[in-house]
Amino acid sequence: MKLLKLAYSALFAAIMMSCAASGAAKTATVTRDCTGTYLRVDSKDWLVCNAEILSKHKEGAVVTAKFEKTNLCPEFADKVVCMMYHENEGLIRITDLK
């Protein structure tokens, strides 16, 4: 019985963590530097793979976006970025932007 409760707790935690960067639209601030384009949500930066979708938005612009976590960004394959470190929560792909 304890094992079953532990399994349900782990499943619930995994679902909640996966929803942190996907699902409902979130209010975010556009942030840029030489390392890339980021969306800042709840004081955490997410590196945007498909940053061209934000090309008309200035630094500091507030947007409403839906996005999904990803492990790969083919868009970065031929890009040269600076060697500055920018702490972030991971890679995302914007799926909807308002």
Q: Determine the pLDDT at residue 1.
A: 56
User: What integer best gives the mean pLDDT of the chain?
Assistant: 85
Is the pLDDT at 15 greater than 80, yes or no? no
pLDDT band at 80 (very low <50, low <70, confident <90, very high): confident
Summarize the confidence of residues 34-39 as an average pLDDT: 96
Distance of CA 32 to the CA centre of its chain: 14
Q: Determine the pLDDT at residue 63.
A: 98
Give the integer Cα–Cα distance in Å for 31 and 46: 9
Q: Determine the pLDDT at residue 55.
A: 96
Summarize the confidence of residues 6-15 as an average pLDDT: 48
